[in-house]
Amino acid sequence: MMALSLTKRADVFLLAVPIIAANIASPLVGWVDTAVIGQIGDAADLAALALGTLIFNALYWSFGFLRMSATALTAQALGREDKAALPLHLWRGMGIGFTVGLSFIVFSPLIMPLALMAFSTSPALNDLTSTYVFSRIWGAPAALAGMAVQGWLIGMGRTRMVFIIQLVLNLVNGAFSILFVRVFEGGLGGVAAASALAQIAALAVALYGVRDYLRLDLKALWTRLIERAGLRAYFGLNRDIFLRTLALLAGFYWFNEASLRAGTEVLAGNAILLQFITLAAMFLDAFAYLTESAVGRALGRGSRQDFLRMLYLTSEQALGFALALSALFFLAGPEIIDFLAKDETARAAAKTYLPYCALVPLIGLASWQLDGVMIGATRGALMRNAMIAAFILYLALDAILRPLWGGHGLWLAFLGYYIARAGTLMLGWKGLMAQFHAPASTPTASAIDA
């Protein structure tokens, strides 16, 4: 059994680097698609590509619980040295992801009109977007099943494999995008088909990487997979993480809505600054993922000492990256803004609020790390309630501060949102500590593996 090693600073760094690389590589798929379509298409094609990509991002982000639960449950099983549970979590996550992806294909004629209702589009743009979506949707089963496999790999500490999967995804997507669009003149449908094939290829590589856990007694595995108590606990956990994710998305939606209400130039400037936050997340999420694995493993062993040691090591390095990112934003932010935008009003707004944005890595670090802690401990109900409460507090702060100070109040409320996320999660700290004294047969430790 491969052990997850997070006992030294070097271990943490070597495990984090492949995740950071994979996170940085992830947006490349969209960039390649945009570059390819930008060479042969017009503004309508690019708009349809942007809308289609947004729809898929929303769908896949909403099912991020497939990765999170796989990471936590696998790490806990690894900590307990429960070899039988490892393939169980792999197969269960893959099966649910593949099934959900198939349902996307089946119900896509219903999903598309509903998704497009959220945008002010023309019939012609709707048709172009539909062309993209109906071609790319065939990759949904592989994409969602792949999310579960990657979560399982992170739980096992095999972060290099996660990077290899992402690398294959980008290489295959780039090659087929050029082939389908430039050679076969497939247009938007060709780009979408390339993305679908890339997701299938990435899943194939992922399955090869976990092949040793796929060769087993399927009859015995099936008995465990359909066991009622285990399924009830598994779906309960994923339901809570799903609701937590929706509340998180609602917070970012409101930030954009509040930006629009503050003025078009504020919205444009904040759109630029959100790219800074996305960059910070690429780095800091890596340590949150490792925290999930570390906490799960320590909880599986019932070792509070290991938990505190691993949390210290991952948080220490996350803090170092947060400080570096904040310094980068403060010092180089104006030049980055000038590179990203040509409109002077957007540049001016972004530079006005840059100091607030630069504080996000430092102020948000605790919320990122505590998310990792509670995911690793499978505290789904706590995460759900904490995120909903944080969102309500954020709305209250925004209602008070934005009317008083405009865009400055908007950003102060947004920073308060990160503090509220960390504060509400800390309310579960005492209960988390109690889990280390819970008998092994209690739901906190092993009900989901039953």
Q: pLDDT per residue over 349-365, tens digit each?
A: 999 999 999 999 999 99
Statement: residue 219 has pLDDT above 80: no
What is the rounded (10 degree) CA torsion for 104, 106, 109, 111?
A: -30
Are residue 30 and residue 127 in the same domain, yes or no?
yes
Q: Is residue 102 part of a domain?
A: yes
Question: Do residues 329 and 445 both lie within one domain?
Answer: yes
Domain assignment of residue 203, yes or no: yes
For residue 4, tell me if it sits in a domain: no
In this structure, is residue 193 part of a structural domain?
yes
278 is written with which tokens?
A: 């996305």
175 shares its domain with 274: no
Mean pLDDT of the chain: 86
Q: Quick one: 212 and 239 in the same domain?
A: no
- Assess if residue 8 is contained within a domain: no
Residues 209 and 84 in one domain: yes
Pair 216, 257 in one domain: no
Q: Computed over its alpha carbons, how large is the radius of gyration of the chain? A: 22
Is-contact 104 137, C-beta < 8 A? yes
Flag whether 1 is in a domain.
Answer: no
Do 204 and 260 fall within a single domain? no
Domain presence at residue 9: no
Q: Which two tokens stand for residue 355?
A: 């100091």
Q: Are 194 and 257 within one domain? A: no
Lowest mean pLDDT among 26-30, 279-283, 324-328: 26-30
Q: Are residues 296 and 440 in the same domain?
A: yes
- 344 and 218 within one domain: no
Tell me if 422 sits within 8 A of 46, measured CB to CB: no
Tokens of 82: 């429960």
Distance CA 139, CA 443 (A): 35
Contact yes or no for 276/359 (Cβ under 8 A)? no
- Looking at 162, 191, 226, the residue that finishes a domain is 226
Which one of 173, 202, 226 terminates a domain? 226
Query: How many distinct structural domains can be found in the chain?
Result: 2
Domain extent, residue 154, equals: 16-226
DSSP-derived letter for residue 14 is H
Amino acid (1-letter code) at residue 288: A
Please indicate, yes or no, if residue 121 is contained in any of the structural domains. yes
Token pair 């002077």 in the structure block, residue: 344
Alpha-helical regions (H) of 302-378: 304-340, 344-376
CA 436 to each of CA 188, 301, 377, 428: distance values in angstroms, whole numbers, following the listed order: 53, 9, 10, 13
> Are 436 and 365 in a shared domain?
yes
- Output the pTM of the full model: 0.85
SS3 category, 158:
coil
Q: How far apart are CA 327 and CA 336, in angstroms?
A: 13
Give me the pLDDT at residue 442, please: 38
Q: Please state, in angstroms and rounded to a whole number, the distance separating the CA atoms of residues 350 and 360.
A: 14
* Residue 288 tokens, joined: 């949150």
pLDDT > 70: percent of the chain: 91
| Distance in angstroms (rounded) separating the CA atoms of residues 248 and 101 | 23
Helix 140-156 / helix 65-80 crossing angle, nearest 10 deg: 30
Do 115 and 255 belong together in one domain? no
| pLDDT of the residue at 444 | 40
Question: Quick check: 25 and 167 in contact, CB under 8 A?
Answer: yes
Q: Which of 198, 226, 254 is the last residue of a domain?
A: 226
pLDDT tens digits for range 119-172: 666 788 788 888 888 999 999 999 999 999 999 999 998 989 999 999 999 899
Mention every residue, 6+ apart, whose C-beta is less than 8 A from residue 272.
337, 340, 341, 346, 347, 350
